[in-house]
Structures are given as C-alpha cells and as structure tokens.
Amino acid sequence: MLEYSDFELLAVELLLLASLVAIAARYLRLPYTVALVVVGFLASLGQFFDVTLSRDLILLVFLPPLLFEGAINMDLGELRRRWTQVALLALAGTVITAGVVAAALTLLTDLPFKYGLLLAVMLAPTDPVSVLATMKEHGVPAGLRTLLEGESIFNDALGIVLFTIALAYAVPEKPGEAIGWPHALRDFGAEIAIGVGVGAVAGYGIHRLMRLLDDHLVEITLSVTLAFGSFLIADRLGGSGVMAVVVGGLLIGNYGTYRAMSASSQAVMAEVWEVVAFLLNSALFLLIGLEFEVRNLSDGSTISAAIVATAALLAGRAIAVYGLLLPFRRPRGSLWVPGAWQHAIFWGGLRGSIPIALALGLTATQRNLAGVDAVTVVFTAVLLSLVGQGISFAPLLGRLGLANGGG
C-alpha cells in the first residue's frame, strides 16, 4: 500500500512523463495516445513505476468523464440523421466482430468455443480515442466523426452486457449457472432502458439547475456531478452507466449549454472538459502500457491466441463495416457513406479501455482459459491495435483525401 507522499510523487512523475511524451509526439507527428502506450510499455520493461491499473479504476474513474466529454461535443442533429448507421455498427457490428473472432480462435487454436467467445466479446468494443483526435486535427467531415464516435460510445454498453453473458457461459461459478439468451436479451433491454431513463432525468435536472444562474464555476461543478452521478445511479439501479452518461452528456451539450449558459461560460466549460479528457486519456493510455507484462508472452498458446485474435479482429471489422454500410455506399441524399469513409471507419476501429477493463475484472481462475492467459491476449491485441492502426491512420486519411475538409 502506497503512502500518501508516495502516491503524490507518482502522480507528479506520471503527469510530467505524459507532458514530455506529448511534446515529443508533436515533433515526431505521432498520435499522442499511441506514443503514451509505447512509452508506458518501455517504462514497464525497466519497472520504473510501481502502479496498478484495475477494472474499477477504469470504469468508475476514467470512463464516466471521458464518455461525458465525448457526448457533450457530439452533434445530436447529426447523430439523429445517422442513427440507423450508428446502430448497425454498434449493435450488429459488435456481434459480427465477436462472432468472427470466436470462430477463428476455436478453429485455429486449441481453445474451446466457450473460451474463444469470452475473449471475442471482451475485444469486440471499439475505442477510437486517438483516431478521433487525429480526425479533429485534420478537419474530416462531421458525419464521419459521428459514425466512429457514436459507434464506440454505444457499443460499450453492449460489450459489457455480452461479457457478462459470455463469462457466465464460459466460467460459471455454479453448475448450470449459464444465462439463457431470452433472459440475456431482457437484461440488455432493461439495462439500456434504465440507463437512458437515468441519463434523461439527470440531464434535464442539471439543465434546469444551470438556468438558475450564470456562474461557470457552479455550472462546471454540476456537469462533473452529472458525469459521475448518472453513471453511479444507473449502475446502482441495475442499468447501464455508460448509456446514462452518454444521454446526460448529449442533453447538456446540445441543449443545456446553449439554453442555460452564456457564451463565456460555454467556452470555459468546453476548455475545462478538454483539459480533463486530455489528463485522463494521458493517464489511462500510459497506465495501459505500464500494466503490460512481457513475461506472460513466453507461453506459446497465449502468443498464438493473441495473434489469431488480432488478425480476426481486423477480418471481423472488415466484414461488419463493408457489409453493414454497403446499402449506404451509393449517393442517396445526406445519408451517403462514401467508400473513403468506410475505409476510414474500418481502420479507425481501434481497441482500448473497455477490453482492458473487462480483462482486468477477471479473477485468477477466470483468466486461465485452458492454459491461455486471457489478460495477456487482450492486452496484446489492444496494444497492436493502438500502435499499428493508430500510427497509420493519419497517413490513411491523406491517401483517402479526407483531410482538411476533403471527402
């Protein structure tokens, strides 16, 4: 257990390291989050930092504000217009990707299907934080950003539910404990309904409070309360905390700020949440790199499973994106999804915090899947996704003609 002074020193060291990485990444023209993961991984080899990343830390500390910051900056009008495409990618796309990965692991490794399925649903949710920052920097069309960000926000909730089902099926605590699909679908519907309801009520309530005064300090405090409070309340009621935060953030970002806040307060809130997101993303991606244990790759079965899972993720992503968006490829009004957009959506589906959080939530018994270390497989697939796709995404935008208002 760290003493308070040790924790304080560690926090300062990590912030300083993150700042230095940000400066270096700017000069080297590398995605900032990718650079953080790489530096964290290199630092873990020398064991320079004694820090532990946990499931609760990700889900309760990092996730709510990061989701909220993304939601308040999302264009609700654009999301409404493209809700069909977002839903297809977030729901059907996640299921397709998980199915392809599960099949590949079952056919190409010695893993039984139930273990392959568990690994697949952990890896299925996307988290394109680094590519969204790259998109913003290069001025890509708003519709493309909405598709990628909307998908990643809404498939988080589905991924967590699928993980619960797959875990009960693969590693039941009691014989016959596996959850049936009808029951699972009811649970999923209830989680979404409760999450949306909590987010709507909390978002409206905070919006009404913001209208009582024009004080950016109080308004920012209320927004922080909404980000964490809606997540905790929904989770306590058995709902999706992810959906609650997203719905609350969408209401504040698209209605609360413009109807309840002055222009100066809006600017301050945007800047504060941008800083919060920067700090949390810095810490999170640095910790992901620090948490990776190279010695676990000494097992051949684990390495094989990680390689197969990584390749299958790309194959499943390709099937999902190009298959589901095929009807929208031809110009048909405002819902057109050009081929260049589809290529960017395919390559921009990186894996990140949610797979890591789900893997870290496994007990020592649950992480051993027929001799394969589940946590190492997930970490390896996430790191390869972040580094490989993250570094090459900006050049891809240029080759597709999507940078600086193109596309």
Please, which residues have CB within 8 angstroms of residue 331's CB and are 6 or more apart in sequence? none
Q: What is the pLDDT of residue 2?
A: 46
Closest CA to 115 of 167, 160, 164, 165: 167
Q: What is the pLDDT of residue 230?
A: 95
Mean pLDDT, 10 residues at a time, over the chain (407 residues)? 59 82 83 82 71 81 88 85 92 95 95 94 85 73 87 84 84 63 73 92 91 85 94 91 91 77 82 88 83 78 93 96 90 78 92 88 88 92 89 88 69
CA separation for the pair 114, 125 (Å, rounded): 18
Q: Please give the domain boundaries of the chain with CATH numbers for all domains.
A: 4-400 (1.20.1530.20)
Residues 293 and 77: beta-carbon distance below 8 Å: no
The number of angstroms, rounded, from the C-alpha of 200 to the middle of its chain's C-alpha atoms is 22
CB count in 10 Å sphere of residue 361: 19
Q: What is the pLDDT of residue 78?
A: 86
Chain length of the chain: 407
pTM of the model: 0.86
Q: What is the pLDDT of residue 198?
A: 96
Q: What are phi and psi of 373, to 5 degrees?
A: -85, 110
DSSP calls for 132-143: HHHHHHHT--HH
CA separation for the pair 179, 165 (Å, rounded): 6
CB count in 10 Å sphere of residue 208: 11
Q: What is the pLDDT of residue 245?
A: 93
Q: What is the pLDDT of residue 173?
A: 67
SS3 content of the chain, % helix, strand, coil (to 5): 80, 0, 20
Long-range contacts of 213-222 (CB under 8 A, 24+ apart): 214/261, 214/262, 214/265, 215/265, 216/261, 216/264, 216/265, 216/268, 216/269, 219/260, 219/261, 219/265, 219/269, 220/268, 220/269, 220/272
